[in-house]
Amino acid sequence: MKSNLAEQLRNARPVNVEDAQTANLLGKIFDAANGAETGGKKILPESNSPNDVHNVHDVHTEELDEEVPENLDDAIPDDELAEAIAAVNDALKRCVDDPGVLASADFVAAVKLVRERDQSEWVRIRVALKKAKPSGVLLSEIDKGTVPDGEGFDDSSVADDLVALVQGRAELFHAEDGACFVALKESPRKVFKLDTTAFSEWLGYAYYRNTESDTRPGRAASETAIRTARSVLSGIAKNDGEERKTWLRAAEHKGCYYLDLGANDWCAVEIDARGWRVVEHPPVYFWRSSTTRPLPMPIPGGKLDKLWAHLNVPESSRELVLAWLLESLRPETPFPVLELVGSQGSAKSNTHAKLRRCIDPNAVDLRAAPKSVEDLFVSAGCNWIASYNNLSRLSSQVQDAICNLATGGGFAGRTLYTNSDETLIEAKRPVILNGIVPLATAQDLTDRVIHIELPAIGTYRSETDLNAAFERDAPSIVGGLLDLFVKTLAKIPEVSIESPPRMADFAVLGEAMMISLGKEPGDFMRIYSENRTDSVARSLESSPVAVAIRAMADAHTHPTDPVFDGTMGALKARLDLERDNAEAWPRSPRGLGDVLRRQLPALAQIGIKVEIGKAGRAGVMVTIRKREHCERRERRSDSYSHGEKYSTGSESF
């Protein structure tokens, strides 16, 4: 004979609730109803204490907007189910005056039966329950305490299911730096970094779809379950998975280059000296951050000349910008840093954004200045192009970090919530900066910078019109850029530069690009050397010590004698006469020595040689000489005119 759950609920002994502990007590009673142990004793739903619900603090018996539905059990063919629904209805009516009824064993059993037999009825009951329950009772506790037996809704079992789901559908592996990844076995082969939002979103959706059926919706995995599963999966990837190389946006593999198009089909462009083609299954593992956006589908035989209609770049600097774009497709080489400088109204931000969209479109193409070195590397770790907009200055620490970022470096910091673990971020990225004034002042950075001065513009167009016009031309522009890259790759083996500059790979690519454009050999080295010379001059102007030494050398009229030969202290005393109230002036001979060491390459390129000896009894000895003829230019091996010190293959020019 079936038990009358509604009658049992009416006769249930009231539960004592004191000191605003309603939610906590309900959670414990739900645990007890499911067989949980607390402190070695089961907490029973009954109590011998009298009902004292009116003395409970913060438990309100608010008026309901609507009355509790009377006929939730209409048209239910199952008598036991109908009885359970009636019992729940009765509890909903009584819970305003007696919240403890929502924690009774009979209520829990009735709700479990409804949830097990009829999900649609449970949804209706849950809506009514949300309206009827006192404010001190947590709906989440009722949800948790009334899970049907055997469904395994606890976080640990869900985490186990998530791990099994990933192992069945994907491969786990790790990169050289220890980062962990998952690659789906199905097509398209998506690759996720395990500690990213993109993977968590995919895992939650996959679990929902995996648990849905024709009669009920899928289940939602909690953040705790997903976090636990990720931790387990990372351990599997590091210990059992293979070590594989992963890439963001651009890759190199067996003499070919690959560009991730960023679309949902995960196709990529394969590029070599013979041509380029879109491939569905690239042989490299691309992963994406949540801010990655798709490139336009490139058109073969595109028109690269259309690019200049969207950029405010002077014609004399366009080859440098094109070479920077092509070098951004070669992840194995060091990258020059592109610096766009112009007055207000020179379209710096618009030019900057359009350049990035040719290679690495992003949800936020232009980023604010990094507040720290850590911020710089965190951003670079998730983006192929490091892009910083509208900067006013860069600290010496950030300038040094940008040098490391452009040539390949890393940042290590304490892992969050730990005392003895370290998080390492390694990256090598193309960098774009823009601002009103020159930003690169440190000598190490100026040697890597391509400085572009943007002219002021006279007429303005709306941002909407500019973006729409670029979107129309973008497929042709990207196609033309890939065509130029193919031609450049074919010419690179023929290029040889005697005494190349610091960014030798970039110089070779630039020369190959110019030849493929029909220019004369040596043209690129000429414009690149002039650009570097200007950068050196700007670097010197930013250092009051370098300006003072140059003034002292200019005043020296005996080319065969040293400009200065003495101790660092004596040099400081002499330079103090040229100080001119400069703020960034060294306070000691040692400080002067530090400044001089940073400026040695720049001074040498304008014909001033500084030799710093070892410390002796009198102090550190310094000798300053003017190079023969006092050339105000870079060292001769870096300055080219047409055909000078350049060769292609065996033919000399």
What is the SS3 assignment for 571-612? HHHHHHHHCCCCCCCCCCHHHHHHHHHHHHHHHHHCCEEEEE
> Distance between CA atoms of 205 and 166, rounded to whole angstroms?
12
Global pTM?
0.69
Q: Which amino acid is at 54?
A: H
Q: Choose the CATH number for 307-533 among 1.25.40.10, 3.40.50.300, 3.30.70.360, 3.40.1180.10.
A: 3.40.50.300
Look at residue 545 in the predicted model and tell me its pLDDT: 86
CA dihedral 520, 522, 527, 531 (to 10 degrees): 170
Residue 459, SS3 per DSSP: coil
pLDDT of residue 8: 53
Task: With CA atoms as reference, report the closest residue to 438 among 363, 316, 359, 542.
Answer: 542
428-482 per-position pLDDT tens digit: 999 999 999 888 888 788 889 999 999 988 787 888 999 999 999 999 999 999 9
3-state secondary structure of 285: strand
Q: What single letter denotes the amino acid at residue 576?
A: D
pLDDT of residue 412: 65
Q: Can you say whether residue 35 is alpha, beta or left, with left for phi > 0 and alpha for psi between -120 and 50 degrees?
A: left
> How do residues 561-592 score in pLDDT, each as one tens digit?
898 999 999 998 888 887 766 667 888 888 88
Whose structure tokens read 């040689």?
Answer: 609
Instruction: Region of 315 please: left (phi>0), alpha (psi -120 to 50) or beta.
Output: alpha
- Please tell me the predicted confidence (pLDDT) of residue 63: 44
Joined tokens for residue 331: 């992840």
Alpha carbon 387 to its chain centroid, in Å, reads 11
Strands 170-174 and 242-243: parallel
Q: How many CB atoms lie within 10 A of CB 505?
A: 16
The strand ranges marked E within 161-284 are 170-174, 180-184, 191-193, 242-243, 246-247, 250-253, 256-260, 268-272, 275-279
Give residue limits of the domains in the chain.
5-145, 155-244, 307-533, 543-637
Neighbours of 389 (CB within 10 A): 19
* Rounded-to-integer distance, Cα 290 and Cα 236, Å: 24
Task: Considering only CA atoms, give the Rg of the chain.
Answer: 35
3-state secondary structure of 642: coil
What are the percentages of helix, strand and coil residues in the chain, rounded to 5? Answer: 45, 15, 40
Q: How far apart are CA 499 and CA 359, in angstroms?
A: 31
Q: How far is CA 281 from the centre of its chain?
A: 25
The predicted structure's pLDDT at residue 48: 42
As assigned by CATH, the class of the 543-637 domain is mainly alpha
* Torsion sign over Cα 469, 471, 473, 478: positive
- Return the pLDDT at 447: 85
Q: Return the number of other C-beta atoms located less than 10 Å from residue 292's C-beta.
A: 21
Contacts 24+ apart (CB under 8 A), 364-367: 364/291, 366/390
Query: How far is the C-alpha of 268 from the C-alpha of 289, rounded, in Å?
Result: 16
What are the tokens at 264?
Answer: 């949902």
How many other C-beta atoms can be found within 10 angstroms of the C-beta atom of residue 6?
19
Nearest to 272 by CA among 302, 252, 287: 252
83 three-state secondary structure? helix
Distance CA 231, CA 229 (A): 5
The number of residues in the chain equals: 653
Report how far apart the first and last C-alpha atoms of the chain are (Å, whole number): 106
Cα→Cα distances 263→188, 446, 496, Å: 11, 36, 38
Q: Given this model, what pLDDT does residue 223 score?
A: 87
Q: How far apart are the C-alpha atoms of 362 and 388, rounded to whole Å?
A: 13
Q: Do 334 and 372 touch, CB atoms closer than 8 A?
A: no
Three state DSSP letters for 416-438: CCCCCCEEEEEECCCEEEEECCC
Beta bridge partners of 610: 624
Residue position matching structure tokens 């929902």: 208
User: Could you tell me which residues are beta bridge partners of residue 41?
Assistant: 38
Q: Are strands 337-341 and 651-652 parallel, antiparallel or unpaired?
A: unpaired
* Contact (Cβ atoms closer than 8 angstroms) between residue 369 and residue 409: no
Low-confidence ranges of the chain (pLDDT < 50): 1-3, 9, 13-30, 32-69, 71-76, 416-420, 629-653
Cβ proximity of 354 and 306 under 8 Å: no
